[in-house]
């Protein structure tokens, strides 16, 4: 018998780097004013939908995810736990540069999960490795309901983990969300892993009518 578990993942909403053409990665961009409002709406909608549910809350420590998690935590009355395991993929010398600079200076095209766009960057396999211990800890924990606030590339890796697929499946599939998207993952008592809802952006709108 498995433990029933519900995980809600939140991809941080609009950040400054979404507007200025710069690389996200480990550059510590903050949310825009619109992103802050989107985070407030996500928090309000989650509180409304899960009024009687106690959650644990984990997040990447980068400013844009920290701000999102703190807004959610304040609304549902829980203190976020921050872990570097949930940080976005490190892009080495591209950190602090523009997207255009990356395209013009990329050292290697990323054709497999092991490839690195720059020699000092992380591959997606590296992200998998640093996230794996955290992933195992929450899957095996006594926590029934968990919220995770992270980044697009990192959550795409997490989704593949959740479905029990191996890391090399990232060579042929992707499970990307979008900015501000909220996903619902569930494990049944029989151990079946489900993605019930994928990157639902309606949570960014206050009093949103949820998609079924």
Angle at 22 between CA 205 and CA 29, to 5 degrees: 60
pLDDT of residue 211: 44
CATH topology of domain 5-204: Rossmann fold (3.40.50)
Spatial distance between the Cα atoms of 212 and 13, rounded to a whole number of angstroms: 21
Q: Kindly give, in sequence order, each residue whose CB lies less than 8 Å from that of residue 182, ignoring residues fewer than 6 positions away.
A: 8, 9, 10, 11, 42, 46, 197, 199, 200, 201, 203
Where do the structural domains in the chain lie, given as residue ranges? 5-204
Local confidence band at 206 (pLDDT 50, 70, 90 cut-offs) = confident
List beta partners, residue 184: 8, 197
Q: Tell me the pLDDT tens digit for each residue of 85-116.
A: 999 999 999 999 999 999 999 999 999 999 99
Give the global pTM: 0.95
List beta partners, residue 59: 82, 149
Residue 212 has pLDDT above 70, yes or no: no
pLDDT of residue 207: 64
Q: Tell me the pLDDT tens digit for each residue of 109-147.
A: 999 999 999 999 999 999 999 999 999 999 999 999 999
Average pLDDT on 43-60 reads: 95
Residue 208 has pLDDT above 70, yes or no: no
């Amino acid at each position: 018998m498995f433990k029933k578990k519900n995980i809600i993942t939140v991809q941080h909403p609009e950040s400054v780097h979404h507007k200025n053409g710069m690389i996200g990665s480990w550059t510590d961009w903050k949310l825009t004013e619109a992103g802050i409002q989107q985070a407030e709406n996500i928090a309000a909608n989650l509180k409304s939908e899960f009024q009687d549910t106690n959650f644990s809350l984990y997040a990447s420590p980068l400013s844009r995810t920290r701000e999102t998690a703190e807004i959610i935590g304040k609304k549902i009355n829980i203190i976020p736990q921050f872990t570097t395991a949930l940080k976005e993929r490190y892009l080495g010398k591209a950190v602090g540069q523009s997207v255009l600079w990356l395209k013009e200076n990329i050292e290697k095209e990323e054709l497999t999960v092991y490839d690195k766009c720059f020699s000092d960057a992380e591959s997606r396999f590296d992200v998998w490795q640093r996230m794996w211990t955290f992933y195992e800890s929450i899957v095996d924990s006594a926590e029934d309901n968990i919220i995770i606030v992270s980044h697009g590339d990192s959550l795409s890796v997490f989704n593949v983990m959740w479905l029990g697929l191996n890391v090399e499946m990232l060579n042929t599939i992707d499970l990307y969300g979008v900015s501000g998207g909220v996903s619902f993952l569930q494990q049944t008592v029989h151990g079946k892993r489900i993605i019930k809802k994928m990157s639902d952006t309606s949570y960014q709108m206050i009093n949103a009518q949820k998609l079924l």
